[in-house]
Structure 1
Amino acid sequence: MKLKITFILALFCIGFSNAQTKVGTVNSEFIISKMPQMKGVLQRVENYGKRLDSSFQIKTTQYKAKVDSFKAEEKLMTEDDKKARIQELRALEQEMGKFRQNGATMMQLQKEENLRPLYKKLSEVIAEVAKENGYTQILTTTGNEFAYIDERFDITQLVLDKLGIKE
């Protein structure tokens, strides 16, 4: 009976040791920053930002013109006219604030949209490298807190090589 239990435990231990996983790490942000396509992404995002800035400058110029007009005509206005113009200026200020806030959101969305193909390509190459080297899991080192990472299991350089990127 003891022999059967020992045999079953031995089989269980052998099966468990064969089922172990191989975990690796990769610095995806570093790789993305080294990809040649990144220059194009940054250029497109910068151009988009310039278009937004241009639109905002037009609104700012219109706002300043209305403020100057109000200041020039203020002494000649009735109280009701002053209140109406002040309301109009406040509405324009709020509109400009919303435009600025929306612009920041739109810039972030534009950047994410332009980076999506790079992350897709990176993900595919990471999967290839992981399969070729027998990894069952790959963790990204960016944005995660690791107490210790053994450099032998970091596939960042393998992915860079597969993408043809030289440091």
Structure 2
Amino acid sequence: MKKIVFLLLLSSVSSLGVQAQKFGYVDMEYITSKMPEYQKAQSEMNQFSERWAKEIQEKGAEIDRLQRAYMAEEVLLTDELKRKRQNEIREKELEAREYNNKVFGVDGMMFQKKKELLKPVMERVQRSVEKVCSQRRLDFLFDKSSDFVMVYTNPKHDYTDYVMEDLGIDTKPVAASGTAPASKTNN
């Protein structure tokens, strides 16, 4: 029985070795940095972010104003009025925290807006990546700019320019930028 399992395992491993898999990588950060529609989406995101941050700042300023007014009048207030003002300040603080979470929280308005604005751009890039992978017969394509750590990358496996070319983005290196990928020689 052990011999049969061993032979089955050996045959499956040897059959995997016969069919080589082709790998490559792209630099998505570089690609998207060259896309005007991505830059436009980023600009819109910044505008929303600034507007929402300003609203949160205004809520904070109102809380500060209420606290200063309370401290200035505290000695003149009855215990009941003190509790009322303290409750009002706590409610405003809670409201500000809730609004901050609503806007900038894990699944907040900022996250939703970013998803909405970047979705068409990223779908376009994904279609291009799939097309390049199909044309170049790649089995795996990694993103060099992601959190996935690539300790070494051979430039001959860099398909960034192919994706950029498919997207209609100029692949010529910009003088003095030094961030453009090397030219490609893959087939």
- TM-score interval, smaller chain: 0.7 to 0.9
Alignment of 1:16-35 (within 5 A): 17=18, 19-35=19-35
Give the TM-score, by structure 1 length. Answer: 0.77
In the alignment, which residue of structure 1 is the partner of 2:169?
Answer: 165
In the alignment, which residue of structure 1 is the partner of 2:176?
Answer: none
Which segments of 5 or more consecutive residues in structure 2 lack a partner in the other structure? 1-13, 174-187
In the alignment, which residue of structure 2 is the partner of 1:114?
Answer: 117
- How far, CA to CA, are the matches of 2:158 and 2:84 in structure 1? 65
Q: Which has the higher helix share?
A: 1
Task: Give aligned pairs, total.
Answer: 154
Moved over 4 A (4+): 13-16
Shift of 1:81: 1.3
Shift of 1:82: 0.6
> Pairwise CA RMSD of aligned residues?
2.4
- How far, CA to CA, are the matches of 1:148 and 1:135 in structure 2? 19
- Are 2:55 and 1:55 equivalent residues in the alignment? yes
Select the structure of larger CA radius of gyration: 1
In the alignment, which residue of structure 2 is the partner of 1:153?
Answer: 157
In the alignment, which residue of structure 1 is the partner of 2:148?
Answer: 144
- How far, CA to CA, are the matches of 1:153 and 1:95 in structure 2? 52
Which segments of 5 or more consecutive residues in structure 1 lack a partner in the other structure? 1-12
Give the TM-score, by structure 2 length. Answer: 0.70
- Are 2:126 and 1:123 equivalent residues in the alignment? yes
Shift of 1:61: 4.3
Percent sequence identity is 24
Q: Letter of the aligned partner of 2:134 in structure 1?
A: K
Change in 2 beyond 3 A, CA 1:107/1:14 = closer
